[in-house]
Amino acid sequence: MWKIPLCDLHFGPEEAQAAADVVASGWLTMGERTQAFERALGEAFGTTGVLAMTNCTAALHLAYLAVGAGPGDEVICPSLTFVATANAALTTGADVVLADIVGPDDLTIDPADVERKITKRTKAITVVHYAGYPCDMDAILAIAERHGVAVIEDAAHAPLATWKGRALGTIGDVGCYSFFSNKNLSTGEGGAVAARTEELRQRCKLLRSHGMTTLTLERHKGHAFSYDVVLAGQNYRIDEIRSAIGLVQLGRLAEGNRMRRAVVTRYRDRLGALDRVHVPFRDFEARGVGESAYHIMPVLLPEGAPREAVMAAMKARGIQTSVHYLPIHAFSFHGTSERVRRDNLARTDVLAPRELTLPLYPRMTDAQVDEVCAALDASLREVFPG
């Protein structure tokens, strides 16, 4: 259907063989491949506290539970994020306080607004490394230390991205990763947590599997004969097929991120000729604060441009686009819930309606980037000639 899709999942014979090997092994869940995947993720991220699980939403839920969020508490997170960031907090019984973004050049959470919105009820600050670009972690950590609150990193967009040499997801108390089908590292569904301390890691490990003190594999190998249940946990265990695929995908991640950077560089060069289109994060590398994972390619349309009409015009040209994201407070539930505080989000309200996400994937060619930019220019001229 699409001449140029939004993303292009690259699964090859290696992933197929890895999955087939799991089926042939007769052990399908939470086994040695999952253990190997967790070790490999830890080595890649520079930490020993990684646990694989069903998806990033589960990872976020466990992160909130691990730091003690619950009824009577508040969690601060950006409104410009996927809804799971907030929903996972609400699921614990905590209330959500939405924070604004920095501005048109940086669509991550604004530390100054975070500090303004901290109260005695604040349990955690959740940052989102939007599009794969790091938040100002120095500022966030300083705020958290002053107020004695936890920091959770939603690094769904940011595997192998860094802030001042440290992997995103390993800087706060708990980091959360996504391995959804459109992510830089994909297992179809999947996710992980990285815990800063062994205490948090053990708590996440227990919560991942019903609060049980031993796993099926341990009992199968004779290392344990029974188990106790010490927490009211969930079943967020990942299966061996996805872990095996993840190991293959992880081996491609660094090169894939480098290829994505080259695509983004081409985009920035070509979009420079479109004076009505603004490119967030254009000067990120010049700041020298870290590395991006270049997960998505967001642009800001001219103020007042009809976004859906632009997307339809792009579709007519065979170009798939998307939106990242509708602000959380724009949804019917979150916009009316008494458990969601949504005041003073001026920059989000102005910029979110202008955001459009262009195609981006590692094997995208220069010719495809040029075609997308030309299509965007033509589509804007067609539907918004002002």
Residue 222: the pLDDT is 62
Instruction: Compute the average pLDDT of residues 352-363.
Output: 99
Summarize pLDDT for 20-62 with one digit per residue, the tens: 999 999 989 889 999 999 999 999 999 998 999 999 999 999 9
Summarize pLDDT for 319-328 with one digit per residue, the tens: 999 999 999 9
Position 37, amino acid: F
Summarize pLDDT for 143-197 with one digit per residue, the tens: 999 999 999 999 999 999 999 999 999 999 999 999 999 999 999 999 999 999 9
Summarize pLDDT for 68-121 with one digit per residue, the tens: 999 999 999 999 999 999 999 999 999 999 999 999 999 999 999 999 999 999
Structure confidence at residue 386 as a pLDDT band (50, 70, 90)? confident
* Integer angstrom CA distances of residue 122 from 75, 149, 217: 6, 7, 39
Count of CB atoms situated within 10 Å of the CB of 126: 30
E strand or H helix that includes residue 194: strand 191-195
All domains of the chain, ordered by start, with CATH?
13-249 (3.40.640.10), 253-383 (3.90.1150.10)
pTM of the entire structure? 0.96
Instruction: List the structure tokens of 366.
Output: 């220069």
Q: What are residue 126's DSSP bridge partners?
A: 152
Residue 111: the pLDDT is 99
Residue 49: the pLDDT is 84
- Which range, 7-16, 228-237, 277-286, has the best average confidence (pLDDT)? 277-286
**What's the whole-number average pLDDT of the chain?**
97
Catalytic residue numbers read 183
Instruction: Compute the average pLDDT of residues 131-153.
Output: 99
Contact 364, 8 (CB under 8 A): yes
